[in-house]
Chains A and B, each alone.
Chain A
Amino acid sequence: MKTVRGARAVLVIVLLPVVVVVVGGLGSAIMQSVGLMPLIGPVRFNLDAYAATAQDLPVAIGVSLAIAASSTAIAALVGTAAALVVVSGGWLGRLVGMAGAVTISIPHLIGAATIGLLLADSGVLPRLLGIDADAWPPLVGGPWWVAVIAGFAWKESAFVALVVAGTLLTRVAQFDEPAALLGAGRIARIRMIFLPLAAPSLIVASTIVFIYTLGSYEVAWLLGRTYPEPLAVMAIRLFNDVSLTSRTESAAIAVVTVVLAFAAVAVASVAVRRMAVWR
């Protein structure tokens, strides 16, 4: 009994940093955004920060959601295809698994830098393809955020692949082989066995990717354009701004981003619970 109580005390102590960052961080962001933690001046509840950002915020939300949704869609598609290859085994499967593992371990900022070197109008791809810099579309810093989405989709497809393959590796064979024996063809097995079994982990992985992309700073900052800005870029720019009110505005954007992220978690958990495999 004594050891359990001691162990509980240890657990509470080691969880302190989590409480500071999660509860304290969120709480302080909310309080700053409503004027309860001002840098100077009186403590007064107000929604000035939200009103001040009201003009740019809808655009920023739109840009962030669009980047996150398209990156997640491509990552889920490519990641599922890669997981299919990994799960079906053989040395080809191992090769794709290794390529995915290496891609995951690349820091996001480094990934953004190399995507920039590849896709810029003086980048490696137009050089190799022999396309003139003027004829090359503005992928980096252009209106369609192509380089940003490519950077996220590339890195996150590897994440989706390894999560989905990881949960399927032990389970798919026991259904796949009997189905093949009973005469199910390739397409039928993908549709009736692989995809239903993969769906819950695919949704979980896609949600993590969506939230990560929604709140990521460095890729959009390095490869995106200066206006309109995604949420994270706008928040960090305001945070580093010299004017005194801009800190509260950046806190307001942080709170809005967290609300969007929690909404994504809520939608995903409803979707996962409805699945047959989960029940």
Chain B
Amino acid sequence: MAVTITTRELVPAPAIPPRRLPGDPGRPLTASRTGSRLGRVGLVVLLLGWFALPLLPLALWAFADQWSYPAAVPTEWGTDGLNSAITAGGIAAFGRSALLGVAVAAIATLIGAVAARALVAGWAPFPRLVTVLLFAPVAIPPFASILGTNVILLRAQVPSLLGLVMVLVVVALPYTTFTLRAAYAAHDMRYEEEARTLGASQAQVLWRIQIPLMAPALARAAFLAFLVGWSDYIVTLIVGGGQLVTVPIITASLAAGVGNDSVVAVLSLAALVPPVALLIVLARNGFR
């Protein structure tokens, strides 16, 4: 049997004009138009300038070997700043800062999670007292609490590194507890109850239900706690007793001197890399 194939030109369906009621501009009423749109773009440009302008010196100074005064751009580009940063012990300091940040993040996230879960589930003893204690570090300037804490730590002969991590964990706890308390309040306990009913052990529920469901909030909390350890200057200086030389400590001693502009810029740029990289990772995973 012969098959005849007829080909036909495919005609695109006629475009249906969008249905609009008379007077409907076709955009949400809350979207900006003409004059106010210009104003909004202007405001955005101003805000972006406000946030970005202070970072401009880093980009210019980091690779400036020479920049004699009135010149608007560096007169000689090069890697002198980078070399001096490495000579000043920048790489080791970078490692120490990262370790400090990770240690603070790990401990403060864990304690924050235990406390947040206890507060939300209602089995925390004296919940109001626990809440006040956990959030008090926000209301107490770090320099004030460490002047007192330092004496206790010295008399109790706590190693300075341990004391430093402890104080920074306490400083980070309000942020981790706040983030995780909100997340646990929204967390549906029925998933865990369901798994228990189906025979999962407590450990299995923790690893396969609770942690995966809480992962975004845990990541956010850990990021905030990492920032506390990574950024700290005054606690590291006083409680660390000058033993732990981190990126902020080196940068501070160089920035307080004269003529170190280029090396300060290199160290500052390096100090921006880990937080910004973590921020990108969090944003990509939809954790923000």
Contact = CB atoms under 8 A, between A and B. Distances in A.
A110 interface: yes
A28 B149 contact: yes
B15 to A, nearest CB: 26
A250 interface: yes
Contacts of B202: 3
A174 B31 CA distance: 15
Contact of A85 (B40, B54, B149, B169): B40
Nearest to A37: B151
A277 interface: no
A156 to B, nearest CB: 12
Given A96-B47, A157-B50, A181-B29, A106 B170 contact: no
Interface stretch (B6-14, B86-94, B225-233): B225-233
Interface in B51-92: 51-58, 60-61, 67, 69-72
A103 B71 contact: no
A10 interface: yes
A110 B248 contact: yes
B166 interface: yes
A23 B148 CA distance: 10
Contacts of B247: 107
B123 A124 contact: no
Nearest to B228: A107
Nearest to B230: A107
Range of interface residues on chain B?
A: 35 or more
Given A124-B60, A218-B233, A236-B143, A117 B275 contact: no
A203 interface: no
B227 A105 contact: yes
Given A24-B149, A109-B248, A128-B72, A239 B238 contact: yes
Contacts of A15: 111, 115, 130, 133-134
Interface in A188-233: 189, 208, 211-212, 214-218, 222, 232
Given A15-B115, A107-B233, A180-B30, A257 B144 contact: yes
A271 B157 CA distance: 44
Central interface residue in A78, A127, A177, by most chain B CB within 10 Å: A127
Nearest to A258: B144
A261 B139 CA distance: 6
Contact of A113 (B143, B231, B268): B268
Contacts of A254: 141, 143-145, 147-148
B44 A85 contact: yes
Interface string B161-172: 000001101100
Interface string B263-277: 011011001100110
A20 B130 contact: no
B230 to A, nearest CB: 7
B288 A22 contact: no
Given A181-B29, A254-B143, A11 B114 contact: yes
Contacts of B32: 88, 186
B30 A88 contact: yes
B54 A111 contact: yes
A17 B264 CA distance: 35
8 contacts: A7-B118, A17-B170, A26-B144, A107-B247, A110-B248, A124-B56, A215-B141, A232-B141
